[in-house]
Amino acid sequence: MEYAFIINPISGSGQKAGRLAAKVRKMAEKNPHYRCYVTAGEKDATVLAGMIAEEAERNGRDVIVYACGGDGTIQETAIGLLGREHVRLGVIPIGSGNDFVRSFDEPGAFEDPARQRSAKPKRIDMLRYTWTEGDKVRTGYAVNGINIGFDGNTAILAHSLKEVPMVQGTASYALAIIVNLIRKKGANLRVTADGKPVYDGPLIMCTAANGRFCGGGVESCPRARMDNGKIELLVVGNISRRYFLKVFPKFKSGRVFEIPDVQRHICSLQAGQVKIEPAGGTMKFVADGEILETGALTVDVIPGALTVMVP
């Protein structure tokens, strides 16, 4: 077995990434089966992972490719490995939100080197999202989820707030939640699942999820499973700020279905395909931390698309 580490040097505060890179480089000096790569810009992890996967197929060698960063680094690395043989995805979470690993039984084990050495392979699904730009169909992939409305806007604002001194990690998400609650900035969407209408009108949020968590630890989709071949769709209607504040503690902790009469305000179901269309113009959405803007969006699930090493 060979081991390749793709490290995002600006993940989190950057300090963990620097220490990890130094450690991996020392291992690589002593053992040729270890390699260290440091990204220099957007999509670098996808290019590097693809290059490693091609080499593994060419040489018939098995490789674990570790995505060392946040959810965006994991997404980029996973895309580079999609459809490849001889490669498995490892994860060392050193980002701000780290929502991907939270969906596994012991998320803390991903930060334990000893547990990483005894990790077991697990097949998980990926989400494929498509949209049209002019006469061209564009395609993207997500391992954790796609967020529009309050949760998407929170992720977008949190990304900007990280540039502010003294606002880092989960603090940026907490501040973004407060600001977006004051603004009550949602979206106006038409949502269908497997061809059936689900919602049409103003709403607070719409999530097409593979994993259970978003926004740096908010368990918005507690029924989501990464290996069930289904998209977990969550739509929260145009609720008031007062009601949002009342139910948010349970919503955040994955107990949304304990809220009395929650079905009046929240629609949750599983589907193989979800279509989301803005009432007019375009909409911003977030896919595993990547901020995009488009018109109509179609989300499909690719069952068992990726093998992940789970400690």
**Would 120 be classed as within a structural domain?**
no
Based on the fold, state whether residues 180 and 89 are members of the same structural domain.
Answer: no
Query: Does residue 94 carry a pLDDT above 60?
Result: yes
The predicted structure's pLDDT at residue 15? 83
Based on the fold, state whether residues 90 and 148 are members of the same structural domain.
Answer: no
The CATH code of the domain that includes 269 is 2.60.200.40
Band the pLDDT of 162: cuts 50, 70, 90.
Answer: low
| SS3 at position 155 | helix
Based on the fold, state whether residues 210 and 291 are members of the same structural domain.
Answer: yes
**Would 183 be classed as within a structural domain?**
yes
> Rounded mean pLDDT of 268-284?
94
**Would 27 be classed as within a structural domain?**
yes
**Would 123 be classed as within a structural domain?**
no
Residues in the chain: 311
By the 10 Å C-beta count (0-12 exposed, 13-18 middle, 19+ buried), 274 is classed as buried
Band the pLDDT of 77: cuts 50, 70, 90.
Answer: very high
The predicted structure's pLDDT at residue 179? 54
Based on the fold, state whether residues 280 and 169 are members of the same structural domain.
Answer: yes
Band the pLDDT of 24: cuts 50, 70, 90.
Answer: very high
**Cβ-count burial 128-151 (b if 16+ within 10 Å, e if not):** bbebeeeeeeeebbbbbbbbbbbb
Query: Can you tell me which residue has the tokens 């994993």?
Result: 211
Side chain identity at residue 181, one-letter code: L
Q: Would you give the distance in Å from CA 144 to the centre of its chain?
A: 3
> Rounded mean pLDDT of 234-241?
92
The predicted structure's pLDDT at residue 132? 86
List alpha helices for 118-212, DSSP H. Answer: 150-161, 170-183
**Cβ-count burial 63-94 (b if 16+ within 10 Å, e if not):** bbbbbbbbbbbbbbbbbbbbebebbbbbbbbb
The domain total for the chain is 2
How many Å is the maximal CA-CA distance in the chain?
Answer: 61
Query: Does residue 219 carry a pLDDT above 90?
Result: yes
Based on the fold, state whether residues 289 and 241 are members of the same structural domain.
Answer: yes
Based on the fold, state whether residues 39 and 177 are members of the same structural domain.
Answer: no
Task: Name the strand (E) or helix (H) holding 38.
Answer: strand 34-38
* Entry pTM: 0.90
Domain of 251 in residue numbering reads as 128-304
Based on the fold, state whether residues 268 and 167 are members of the same structural domain.
Answer: yes
Based on the fold, state whether residues 23 and 168 are members of the same structural domain.
Answer: no
**Would 309 be classed as within a structural domain?**
no
Based on the fold, state whether residues 149 and 281 are members of the same structural domain.
Answer: yes
Based on the fold, state whether residues 149 and 86 are members of the same structural domain.
Answer: no
Based on the fold, state whether residues 155 and 254 are members of the same structural domain.
Answer: yes
The CATH code of the domain that includes 17 is 3.40.50.10330
Query: Does residue 161 carry a pLDDT above 50?
Result: no
Interval 29-66: pLDDT, tens? 999 999 999 999 999 999 999 999 999 999 999 999 99
Which one of 53, 78, 95 terminates a domain? 95
Query: Does residue 178 carry a pLDDT above 60?
Result: no
The predicted structure's pLDDT at residue 310? 98
Side chain identity at residue 288, one-letter code: D
Query: Does residue 171 carry a pLDDT above 50?
Result: yes
**Would 184 be classed as within a structural domain?**
yes
Query: Does residue 101 carry a pLDDT above 80?
Result: yes
Which one of 71, 95, 119 terminates a domain? 95
The predicted structure's pLDDT at residue 244? 84
Query: Does residue 129 carry a pLDDT above 50?
Result: yes
Which one of 72, 95, 118 terminates a domain? 95
Over pLDDT 70: what percentage of the chain?
A: 88
CB 98 within 8 A of CB 74: no
Q: What are phi and psi of 255, to 5 degrees?
A: -110, 30
**Would 111 be classed as within a structural domain?**
no
**Would 106 be classed as within a structural domain?**
no
Based on the fold, state whether residues 89 and 162 are members of the same structural domain.
Answer: no
